[in-house]
Amino acid sequence: MTQKEARYHQILDALPVAIYTTDARGIITYFNRAAAELAGREPKIGQDQWCVTFKLFTVDGKAMPHDQCPMAITLKEGRPVRNVEAIAQRPDGSFFPFLPFPTPLRDEHGQLTGAVNMLLDLTDRKRGEDAVQHLSAIVESSFDAIVSKDLDGFIRSWNRGAERLFGYAPAEAVGQHISMLIPPDHHDEEPKILARLRRGERIESYETIRQKKDGQLVPVSLTISPVRDATGRIVGASKIARDITVTKENGHRIRMLMREVNHRVKNQYSVILSMIRETNKRTQSPNDFEKQVRARIMALSRSHDLLVSADWKGATVSDLLAAQAKPFGREDAITMEGPPIRLSPNAVQYLGIAFHELCTNSAKYGALSGSQGTIAVTWDITGEQGNRTLKLIWAENDGPQVNSIARNGFGSVVLKRVAPQALSGTGDLKYGANNVVWTLEAPAPFVEASLFDDRDTDCDLTDSGASL
């Protein structure tokens, strides 16, 4: 090796890029340390031909013989080869993409003496490109509107989410000022936002109103972040806008629900207080008072459980009666017959109280107190549309001799006045030596559950003059 060649090799060894040389036949004559590290092997000088790499592949994954690699083409055709990417495999099985720059070397007479090749490792660049493509795919597939703008407020990018939300196609939006999305009464927001971005601030969860292409206003939650160039200088902003129409509506529904729950709870308190007051008037001892109040509150609870399990949409007559009769036993003594009517929440609670009082009396003195007697509960809706009426009959027969349901007792008042009046109907209670018959008639709209009617919010024993 001449002194001149040794100097060139010293220079090449110091370079961080992979470089190697061959003679005119393609035999390796020199490689620097960067080439060996990139290839993952020590090339054999004077033996290896064309390439310092272990195996080669095209960018689409096909095997590339060494005698067809860019360096081989350069030596065979005597010309540089450019812009031909390839993939190399190291002996350890790992792969790396690279871009070769094979260039022929000639003597002073122009005769080909060999070639030099520089291998540019594309791993980092490919990772960057993949990351950009991945990020681009995420942005495009995002349901949220993602928009970028410069510091003057002009739109620079516009994803599909933005098109869905605002109605503008990318061609209509890119290049336009962001104020096209801002209602007139919110135009003072943009200068403040841009000022904060110039200071490098990030704006999170900013709720405001924006305007669609058709003029419709839409509530949105904005997250705005500054965009910096390679030097760290703020050059624009990235804006994510999320349609919060549903969130707002849900929030409104929740607030309405909480008010409704509060109203229902207050009504339940009113019912319980009324029960306590009226029960106290009609009991002789603290023990009787405690037992009766407990039983009546539990009856309310059973009706309430039915409503909760049905999302407060009501309950059927048979389910309500079964729930109220179960604690007393002898459910087999009760027969039920009628169409599958779904009672409104209001009707559930008042009929629940009525059924409890009937079952309580029957368990003490009637059919449910022994092994004899039956209870037949029937109901039907009669009349034409606009004038339909529910008629429900509780008929208890053949039980022990009836000597109760006090004419001014709690149960009697509930059956004859409270429950009927709460349903805008009438109640009739008749009893003989061995039977009890309670008949309720009420307009169907005040009894049946309805998607549009919410009369169930007035469950109070003192409503509609139904005071005990």
Residue by residue, what is the 3-state secondary structure of 326-373? HHHCCHHHEEEECCCCEECHHHHHHHHHHHHHHHHHHHHHCHHHCCCC
Q: What is the pLDDT of residues 147-167, one digit of tens each?
A: 999 988 999 999 999 999 999
pLDDT at 401: 59
Rounded distance, CA 120 to CA 410, Å?
A: 96
Q: What is the pLDDT of residues 324-373, one digit of tens each?
A: 999 998 888 999 999 999 999 889 989 999 999 999 988 888 888 877 78
Tracing tokens 């008010």 back to the chain, one arrives at 259
At 38, which amino acid appears? L
Q: What is the pLDDT of residues 104-127, one digit of tens each?
A: 999 999 999 999 999 999 988 878
Q: Which residues of 148-162 are buried (b: 16+ CB within 10 A; e: fewer)?
A: bbeeebebbbbbbbb
SS3 content of the chain, % helix, strand, coil (to 5): 45, 25, 30
pLDDT at 380: 95
**Following DSSP, what letter does each residue of 399-420 receive, concatenated?**
-SPP--S-TTSHHHHIIIIIHH
Q: Report the SS3 class of residue 378.
A: strand
Tracing tokens 């002996």 back to the chain, one arrives at 91
314: alpha, beta or left? (left if phi > 0; alpha if psi -120 to 50): left
6-10, 23-27, 267-271: least confidently modelled range: 267-271
- The yes-or-no verdict on residue 56 having pLDDT over 50 is yes
Q: How many Cβ atoms from other residues are within 10 Å of residue 230's Cβ?
A: 6
For residue 302, which phi and psi values (nearest 5 degrees)?
A: -65, -40
CA angle, 402 then 405 then 411, to 5°: 145
pLDDT at 1: 66
Token digits for 149? Answer: 């703008």
Please give the C-alpha separations between residue 112 and each of 13, 50, 108, 166, 390, in angstroms, as whole numbers: 24, 15, 10, 65, 110
Q: Give the domains, in start order, of the chain with CATH numbers.
A: 3-122 (3.30.450.20), 142-243 (3.30.450.20), 271-465 (3.30.565.10)
Confirm if 223 and 239 have CB atoms less than 8 A apart.
yes
Between 445 and 461, name the one with better pLDDT: 445
Rounded distance, CA 103 to CA 22, Å?
A: 10
84-88, 251-255, 442-446: least confidently modelled range: 251-255
Q: What is the DSSP letter of 180?
A: G
Rounded distance, CA 320 to CA 328, Å?
A: 14
76-80, 133-137, 343-347: least confidently modelled range: 133-137
Greatest pairwise CA separation for the chain in angstroms: 138
pLDDT at 400: 62
Task: Band the pLDDT of 142: cuts 50, 70, 90.
Answer: confident
Confirm if 220 and 124 have CB atoms less than 8 A apart.
no
Q: Report the SS3 class of residue 288.
A: helix
Tracing tokens 């060894």 back to the chain, one arrives at 13
Average pLDDT in the chain: 86
For the chain, give the percent of residues with pLDDT over 70. Answer: 92
Parallel, antiparallel, or unpaired: how do β-strands 374-382 and 334-337 relate? parallel
pLDDT at 252: 83
pLDDT at 454: 44
- The yes-or-no verdict on residue 453 having pLDDT over 50 is no
- The yes-or-no verdict on residue 462 having pLDDT over 80 is no
pLDDT at 466: 36
pLDDT at 286: 87
Among the listed residues 426, 458, 425, 429, the one whose alpha carbon sits nearest the alpha carbon of residue 444: 425
Q: What is the pLDDT of residues 245-277, one digit of tens each?
A: 888 888 888 888 788 777 777 777 777 787 788
Among the listed residues 152, 171, 172, 138, the one whose alpha carbon sits nearest the alpha carbon of residue 240: 138
How many residues are listed for the chain in this entry?
468
Q: What is the pLDDT of residues 283-326, one digit of tens each?
A: 778 888 888 888 888 988 898 898 888 877 889 999 999 999 99
Alpha-carbon torsion 315, 316, 320, 323, what sign? negative
